[in-house]
């Protein structure tokens, strides 16, 4: 039996027009999903796994230690290698933007091992590089400079 499947909302976004930025993906009750688009979709400039994995470790840690620590539900990469999803509970857009800028800045200023870079803490701990995370976060920080709530719509 074939079941008619509903189209998920993210497939309705025209990825041919999507640029790097911060977008409001969806709201489910008190949970807001943000699309942190760091790369242009379907371009030859997709994130490699080391970069994506390293940014995930750094930003997840900093965001969970930000002013929004108790409101962060999830931070992780998109399978298409163009960005990340951030899910937060009961947070104003401006507060999310501030926390994200803070986490990006903290990554840029950080020196040391990537958070969770051990065999006991990560399933692929050899695939991490702080320099890659710093480059990606610095580029995305420039994109978000002056990004306001009026730009959150796709």
pLDDT digits (tens, 9 = 90+) for 31-68: 999 999 999 999 999 999 999 999 999 999 999 999 99
Joined together, the tokens standing for residue 16 give: 């041919």
CATH number of the domain where residue 77 is located:
3.30.1360.80
Residue 9 lies in a domain: no
pLDDT digits (tens, 9 = 90+) for 71-83: 999 999 999 999 9
Domain that holds residue 129: 19-143
The CA-atom distances, in angstroms, between 51 and each of 2, 10, 12, 69, 78 are 39, 23, 27, 23, 12
Q: Is the pLDDT of residue 102 over 90?
A: yes
Residue 29 lies in a domain: yes
Residue 109 lies in a domain: yes
Beta strands in the chain (DSSP E): 21-28, 31-37, 72-77, 83-89
pLDDT reported for residue 8 = 82
**Domains held by the chain: number:** 1
Residue 57 lies in a domain: yes
Joined together, the tokens standing for residue 126 give: 């050899």
Residue 78 lies in a domain: yes
Q: Is the pLDDT of residue 123 over 90?
A: yes
Q: Is the pLDDT of residue 2 over 90?
A: no
Residue 49 lies in a domain: yes
Distance CA(46)–CA(88), nearest Å, equals 26
């Amino acid at each position: 039996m074939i079941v008619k499947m509903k189209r998920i909302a993210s497939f309705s976004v025209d990825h041919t027009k999507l640029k790097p930025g911060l977008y409001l993906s969806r709201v489910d009750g008190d949970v807001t999903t943000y699309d942190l688009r760091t790369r242009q979709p379907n371009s030859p400039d997709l994130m490699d796994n080391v970069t994506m994995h390293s940014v995930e470790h750094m930003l997840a840690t900093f965001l969970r230690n930000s002013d929004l620590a108790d409101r962060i539900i999830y931070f992780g990469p998109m399978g298409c290698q163009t960005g990340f999803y951030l899910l937060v509970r009961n947070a104003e857009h401006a507060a999310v933007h501030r926390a994200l800028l803070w986490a990006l800045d903290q990554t840029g200023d950080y020196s040391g091992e990537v958070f969770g870079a051990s065999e006991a803490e990560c399933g692929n701990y050899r695939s991490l590089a702080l320099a890659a995370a710093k480059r990606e976060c610095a580029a995305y920080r420039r994109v978000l400079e002056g990004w306001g709530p009026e730009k959150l719509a796709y």
